Amino acid sequence: MGEQESAIIESGRKWMAGEVSTDVYVSGVLQSSARVLRPTHHGQELLRRVKAGITTVLHSLHLHRP
């Protein structure tokens, strides 16, 4: 597993443990994704879809968190 993937997994662990806020977690994942994708039309579309998916999942998880 690469360093970037490990960092994303660790940030997810911290988020699930309540050590970081949802905003911090999402920002970190999006920044990591932006570093990987080139700023092309297709890359921008993929990033938009990734952001939308992450937002949807986190929103649904947030609604079900105690």
For residue range 26-54, list pLDDT tens digits in order. 888 887 776 665 555 667 778 888 888 88
Looking at the structure of the chain, the number of domains it has is 1
Position 19 confidence tier, pLDDT thresholds 50, 70, 90: very high
CB 25 within 8 A of CB 53: no
Identity of residue 43:
G
Predicted TM-score (pTM) of the model is 0.49
Number of other residues whose CB lies within 10 A of the CB of residue 42: 9
Distances (CA, A) of 36 to 7, 11, 18: 14, 17, 27
- Summarised one tens digit per residue, pLDDT across range 2-15 is 676 777 788 888 98
Residue span of the structural domain in which 10 resides = 3-64
Radius of gyration of the chain (CA): 13
